[in-house]
Chain A
């Protein structure tokens, strides 16, 4: 009986080249210079991390009600706790805050399934989010109908106002932006000129001056005694500004679609709107998801600018609270809180866009 020669099984690689140790050796300690950098940078990182954690957690004060509860060593979270309600709801009356909570809850309930691929009724929930939700929230927040007490917009503030501003900006700017982008590529000269003029006008001015115009100049042009709501003016300004940016992002996607797609759609006998809706836009929008989300994130952070027209969104609320003489040196805590709130929302949007890109990534790999 002959036995075929069998190579003995390979030995595992030396322990020093695999796993965490191996990774560290090849990436962190490959030469003496990189070893030195690794050690020094780790020490610096640990030092700063320790300082931040010590300030924010270990030496921080959370219990208590006022300044006396803060010993001055670490962060004085008592301040944020004390003003938390103001940072979230603004001047919204305490008894009516459940309405804002319902709005928050509906927002979360409608958005959460969008993060998962196989969530039930995902599409339906998405449409509700874009169509029914704004109406329901508007009625809920403003009141004055269905037995709800009327709460004027001057009482709106905090996180709630930030979300209202960015939601309206996002949801209204996307369709307007798409129409403007299509218009800018239209072959009809009047429509094209109007769209180009609109986009270039709004894109050419800073948001801060748009808000300023809406708040200071517009009332002077209106007939005396006509006042329209300051929040509404800000919302219109933000939407116009944002749709101009959105139009350019979408136009980038439209231009990236090969001519053959337009021709194929035409060859199938589809009219302009159907070929756009069924063939061009689904591809174009997919391409520019990062750009669209980037614009959303920028808008979310730009809502802080309404501070200059005297609306108290999260940052405005923080800024008006830290000047309270009852508290000393709480600016860092206030701004940290505001930064954290903005980061959570912006990071959430960024994750959603990545999930969406992965899901829609249908076979452009060769």
Chain B
């Protein structure tokens, strides 16, 4: 065999080998008894450790839901904090089983990295934060503004595109981290702060007189964030995709962690397929038929994880906006479970 020297080297570090096998992620996760999930190194509302050292956030809850479906216990997740540069390598190399790290679904990433995006659990977009005293009501009035921005992000490119397209001038004031960007904005180094809207809301909680600032209505880019898996394992791809769909469908059907037990005897066949698993919905995924029940019981439906982490139940207070269900003015639309 050609690769023998590599195999020998691999055997030498066998004691340190953490995970194995590429083929069946499901079997791998089951045999490890824990789901390895890649998250950010700290982004409020999405994935960040709290004072009790528990990971919290909407990305984190997606991981927990997958663990609940696959392993039966939402607590059996090993969170691996990853920087933006490491995230895809960690997934490609098998260090993690699923990546839920506020990662934007783009054409290039989906087609050229050997990865698959399984869906969207948060529709984000780039926005603008201004002080009310500036008297600006729309981003179209920002001609000539000084804009605080974080270096090396896609937001920089989006900003350039947006201003060029609208034939406006701007002066970029570039900072290295989001903390510094905010400090620059507070020190009046710039008129506008631009970033993804979710982050604008998170930063806004840190401003001393937040009531004096406003997030402009324009969203100048599409940033659909979703969980990512390795290409070539369709079963695992389906499990992650339908975990997310189950949570969204549950909200639509009015099933939450609080009433999921009562809903077990619900007459609506769609609810029965979800909660009881009539029609062997779980078996078709390679799981058992209680998979969705466990997700809803242990983690909750989409509305619950949204409100708890970024919505009204969190300091961020982000409104549902685009992330509302399709029949409530948003674009969240999950294929039916049937």
State whether the Cβ of B48 lies closer than 8 Å to any Cβ in chain A.
yes
Interface centre among A86, A319, A320, A324 (most CB of B within 10 A): A324
- DSSP class of B's interface residues: helix, strand, loop or mixed? loop
User: Once the chains bind, are B13 and A226 in contact (CB under 8 Å)?
Assistant: yes
Interface string of A294-327 (1 = CB under 8 A from B): 0000000000000111111000100111111110
Q: Which residues of A contact B48 (CB under 8 A)?
A: 320, 323-324
User: Once the chains bind, are A325 and B93 in contact (CB under 8 Å)?
Assistant: no
User: Once the chains bind, are A329 and B78 in contact (CB under 8 Å)?
Assistant: no
State whether the Cβ of B202 lies closer than 8 Å to any Cβ in chain A.
yes
In angstroms, Cα B42 to Cα A329, docked, is: 16
State whether the Cβ of A82 lies closer than 8 Å to any Cβ in chain B.
yes
Interface string of A225-249 (1 = CB under 8 A from B): 1111110100000000000000000
List 4 extra interface pairs beyond A230-B80, A319-B42, A322-B179, CB under 8 A.
A83-B51, A219-B90, A223-B7, A312-B81
Complex interface residues of chain B between 91 and 136 (CB less than 8 A to chain A): 92-95
Among B3, B16, B206, B208, the residue within 8 A (CB) of A228 is B16
State whether the Cβ of A166 lies closer than 8 Å to any Cβ in chain B.
no
How many Å from the CB of B202 to the closest CB on chain A?
6
User: Once the chains bind, are B51 and A219 in contact (CB under 8 Å)?
Assistant: no
User: Once the chains bind, are B205 and A323 in contact (CB under 8 Å)?
Assistant: no
In angstroms, Cα B179 to Cα A220, docked, is: 32
Interface centre among A225, A230, A307, A311 (most CB of B within 10 A): A225
* Residues of B participating in the A interface, judged by any CB pair closer than 8 Å: 3, 6-7, 10, 13, 16-22, 41-45, 48-51, 53, 78-83, 85-86, 89-90, 92-95, 178-179, 202, 205-206, 208, 314-316
- Nearest first, the 3 A-B pairs at minimum CB distance are A219-B93, A320-B42, A325-B315
User: Once the chains bind, are B44 and A323 in contact (CB under 8 Å)?
Assistant: yes
Q: Which residues of A contact B3 (CB under 8 A)?
A: 223
In angstroms, Cα B80 to Cα A152, docked, is: 11
Task: Using CB atoms, name the residue of chain B closest to A320.
Answer: B42
Q: A225-B20, A229-B18 in contact; A325/B45 too (CB < 8 A)?
A: yes
Q: A228-B17, A324-B48, A324-B50 in contact; A219/B95 too (CB < 8 A)?
A: yes
State whether the Cβ of A40 lies closer than 8 Å to any Cβ in chain B.
no
How many Å from the CB of A305 to the closest CB on chain B?
12
User: Once the chains bind, are B19 and A227 in contact (CB under 8 Å)?
Assistant: yes
Among B10, B13, B80, B208, the residue within 8 A (CB) of A329 is B208
Q: A220-B92, A325-B206 in contact; A226/B53 too (CB < 8 A)?
A: no
A-B contact pairs, 6 of them (CB 8 A): A154-B80, A223-B10, A225-B20, A312-B41, A320-B49, A324-B44
How many Å from the CB of B315 to the closest CB on chain A?
4
Among B17, B82, B89, B90, the residue within 8 A (CB) of A226 is B17
Q: A86-B51, A219-B95, A224-B22 in contact; A328/B83 too (CB < 8 A)?
A: no
How many Å from the CB of A343 to the closest CB on chain B?
22
State whether the Cβ of A43 lies closer than 8 Å to any Cβ in chain B.
no
User: Once the chains bind, are B41 and A222 in contact (CB under 8 Å)?
Assistant: no
State whether the Cβ of A262 lies closer than 8 Å to any Cβ in chain B.
no
How many Å from the CB of A300 to the closest CB on chain B?
22
User: Once the chains bind, are A227 and B49 in contact (CB under 8 Å)?
Assistant: no
Among B16, B51, B86, B202, the residue within 8 A (CB) of A309 is B86
User: Once the chains bind, are A228 and B78 in contact (CB under 8 Å)?
Assistant: no
In angstroms, Cα B210 to Cα A189, docked, is: 68
